[in-house]
């Protein structure tokens, strides 16, 4: 039996590819947008080149492929230069995903695992509230709207063809090689910048990269995963302030935080064109993973403390190179 991974050069896809190749219990086919720079001979996986496009023919999908893990996507972009961002997200995340899924179903693929986002449930949770996988959804930006539309389309394909679909909605994913706002926090801590985030008492779910990879591997074969949606997290939510303090300790550079009232912080950030960043730093976004634990008998293997430490140490090593 073979497994196929899309987005094999990405942050999540490359980590999943390494894990599956190391296991050596399945043949692995890795989908890249273009041929990897290094040689693939003796890499432990086959290579398939393809793009997330509605017109991609997807020739070469093996007929004996047991499961496809679809990690490729157009991801959230803080400064999107596209004239119509929603149309661009739909072109890749909806049309491209459903084109691939239809071709997989036609080739007899048994299970299609789709990496969605917790933002499908909503942009934030109120105090004491957590999102569950079966709660009403409220996607609010082009990225989360496109992921929700892809989820709906995948369920239609599943009902029409019999191919099983598994939806995973992770929150922020961190780990070695992390980008975006998390990387910005690491840089700020390393440089010793004072940060006005000492008074943020929100709660946010996150998931360490290896924990998400572990959950995906469980979903490949687990019978209870078929045609269900699961949320993912480390199972331990942190405030922005607590996250920075923990990262600072892991880096040997204590966080220099001072308290700025959230309203003032938001106003200041908006003046700098960073309103979305401030909102994510100040608001809560929490996931309830009890269904994931109960149905899949899965628990995060790496604690938040260890995940943050490994991420911080990896970042410091990379900056010394």
Among 121, 300, 111, 315, smallest CA distance to 213 is for: 300
Pick the catalytic residue: 45, 143, 208, 315?
Answer: 143
Q: What are the tokens at 258?
A: 């001072």
Q: What are the tokens at 107?
A: 């080739």
266 with 279: CB under 8 angstroms?
yes
Among 153, 134, 144, smallest CA distance to 94 is for: 153
45 is catalytic: no
Among 115, 102, 120, 250, smallest CA distance to 189 is for: 250
Show the 3-state SS of the chain: CEEEEECCCCHHHHHHHHHHHHHCCCEEEEEECCCCCCCCCCCCCEEEECCCCCCCCCCCCCCCEEEEEECCCCCCCCCCCCCCHHHHHHHHHHHHHHHHHHHHHHCCCCEEEEECCHHHCCCCECCCCCECCCCCCCCCCHHHHHHHHHHHHHHHHHHHHCCEEEEEECCEEECCCCCHHHHHHHHHHHCCCCECECCCCCCECEEEHHHHHHHHHHHHHCHHHCCCEEECCCCCCECHHHHHHHHHHHHCCCCCECECCHHHHHHHHHHCCCHHHHHHHHCEECECCHHHHHHHCCCCCCCHHHHHHHHHHHHHHHHHC
Catalytic residues: 143
């Amino acid at each position: 039996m073979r497994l196929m991974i899309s987005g094999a050069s990405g942050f999540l896809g490359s980590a999943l590819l390494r894990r599956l190749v190391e296991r050596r219990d399945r043949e692995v086919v890795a989908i890249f947008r273009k041929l990897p720079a290094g040689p693939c001979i003796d890499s432990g996986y086959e290579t398939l080149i393809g793009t997330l496009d509605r017109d991609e023919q997807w020739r070469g999908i093996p007929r004996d492929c047991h499961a496809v893990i679809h990690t490729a996507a157009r991801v959230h972009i803080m400064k999107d230069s596209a004239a119509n961002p929603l149309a661009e997200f739909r072109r890749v995340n909806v049309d491209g995903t459903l084109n691939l899924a239809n071709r997989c179903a036609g080739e007899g693929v048994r299970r299609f695992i789709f990496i969605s986002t917790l933002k499908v449930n909503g942009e934030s949770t109120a105090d004491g509230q957590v999102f569950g996988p079966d709660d009403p959804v409220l996607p609010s930006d082009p990225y989360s709207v496109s992921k929700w539309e892809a989820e709906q389309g995948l369920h239609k394909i599943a009902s029409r063809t019999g191919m099983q679909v598994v939806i995973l909605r992770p929150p922020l994913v961190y780990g070695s090689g992390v980008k975006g706002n998390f990387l910005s926090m690491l840089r700020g801590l390393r440089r010793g910048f004072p940060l006005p985030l000492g008074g943020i008492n929100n709660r946010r779910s996150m998931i360490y990269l290896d924990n998400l990879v572990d959950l995906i591997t469980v979903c490949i074969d687990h019978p209870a995963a078929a045609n269900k949606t699961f949320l993912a997290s480390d199972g331990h939510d942190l405030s922005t302030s607590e996250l920075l303090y923990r990262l600072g300790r892991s880096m040997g550079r204590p966080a220099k935080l001072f308290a700025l009232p959230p309203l003032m912080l938001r106003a200041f950030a908006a003046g700098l064109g960073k309103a979305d960043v401030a909102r994510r730093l100040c608001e809560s976004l929490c996931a309830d993973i009890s269904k994931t634990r109960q149905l899949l008998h899965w628990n995060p293997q790496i604690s938040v403390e260890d995940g943050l430490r490994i991420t911080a140490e990896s970042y410091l090593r990379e900056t010394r190179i």
